[in-house]
Homo-oligomer: A and B are copies of this chain.
Amino acid sequence: MLTITKPTLVLDERRVRRNIAAMAAKARRLGLRFRPHFKTHQSRAVGRMFRDEGVEAITVSSADMAAYFAADGWRDILIAFPLNILEAAAIGRLASRCRLGLLVETPESLPALARRVTAPLDIWIKINIGANRAGADWDDRALIEGLCRETLRHPAFKLRGLLTHNGRTYQARTLGALTRLHADAMRKMVRTRDGLAAAGFPGLEISVGDTPACARLDGFGGADEIRPGNFVLFDVTQLELGSCRESEIAAAVACPVVSTHPARNEAVIFGGAVQLSMADVLSRRDGRIYGRICRPRGSGWGPILPGTAITALSQEHGLVRTTAAEMRRIKAGDILYVLPVHSCLTVNLWDRYIGLDGRPVPTVRACPMQTFHNN
């Protein structure tokens, strides 16, 4: 058992490897390129576990994150975030050392990019299929064809394909709703690609792949690559959505109990927003929650305690509400494991995980290359 004295981010590497292997096998079975999003784990050590499964192409969400992984030998990196033209210098440095993909959605950004970056770039057009965050609307043919034309004007740019993130699947509370939302996205992407082929822009790829759809569905006909990220760790959000089983959640925050209140079936743990993030999820059973609770078991953690969840968070306090039966077993000085609501945001707060064997697994925050926040 790990010796825990304060909040600690714990990684079950066996589960991580299983999650990676399962998704890699699915991508192979469906004939898709597997380009996992590394913003979830943010760790070169975890990245290498993907390499062990034959992964060669990855997704990140910033030029800094691309630089962090490029330095560990990754040579095919897609920054799946709308082009930030202000970072053209960093983009140019990256493009000279690896195959770099960028998202564009504004035609004017392309000549500006071409003026500043001379190395080859893969250009993906970011498509909005209804999530209404970033991207060119899928049915805005004039805009999308304009982006294609403008890309082809610059010899260093390769017009690679169309990319979307179907964030709407995070609202799908049933398998039926998920299936419909995913089919709608695929239909729009394929129709857009076919329209572009007919308009003189043939051979474009399609890149999709949110974790809920990638974890549960097979209908990726027409796609060339998938980019799920969260599945490597999963979390309580995915569990509530039905994207994973409890036994697939691969990271938890071990937290000391510091205060017990049997009269209200509540305990306070040392573990708040700065250890877990303020991400919450609407649980079917328990309303709005900030984490699920397990007891230590073996070298890791056991099953989720029934009727138990974090119901309020402040900076370092987590308020755990539980049942009378569980309450009798909780005392100050105990360790409880918190399964995070959104593992990407939780991991982002830490400079390391601790493996079940006690060994540290550093994240980007432990990297001396502290150009990250100031280059």
| Residues of chain A in range 256-272 having any CB-CB distance to chain B below 8 Å | 256, 258-261, 264, 266, 268, 270
| A160 → B minimal CB distance (Å) | 19
Which residues on the B side are within 8 Å of A315 (C-beta)?
Answer: 39, 61, 344-345, 348
Does chain B have a CB within 8 A of A133?
yes
Known interface pairs A256-B84, A374-B352; A268-B133 also in contact (CB < 8 Å): yes
**Contact at A86–B333, with CB atoms within 8 Å?**
yes
* A interface residues, Cβ below 8 angstroms from B: 4-6, 8-9, 39, 61-64, 81-87, 89-90, 105-106, 108-109, 112, 126, 132-135, 167, 256, 258-261, 264, 266, 268, 270, 273-274, 277-280, 312, 314-317, 319, 332-333, 335, 344-345, 348-352, 354, 360, 365-366, 370, 373-374
CB <8 Å contact, B314 and A133: yes
Chain B residues with CB under 8 A of A370: 351, 366
Partner of A270, one of B81, B108, B344: B81
Separation of A134 and B267 alpha carbons in the complex (Å): 8
Contact B345–A133 (Cβ < 8 Å): no
Query: In angstroms, how far is the closest chain B Cβ from the Cβ of A257?
Result: 9
A103 to chain B, nearest CB (A): 9
Taking CB as reference atom, which chain B residue is nearest A63? Answer: B6
List chain B residues, Cβ under 8 A from A348: 273-274, 315, 349
Best-buried of A64, A133, A366 by chain B (most CB within 10 Å): A133
With both chains docked as a complex, state the minimum distance between the C-beta of A140 and any C-beta of chain B, in angstroms: 10
Of B4, B87, B345, B350, which contacts A278 at CB under 8 A? B345
Q: Given A81-B316, A135-B259, A332-B109 in contact, is the A6-B86 Cβ separation under 8 Å?
A: yes
Select from chain B the residue with minimum beta-carbon distance to A354.
B374
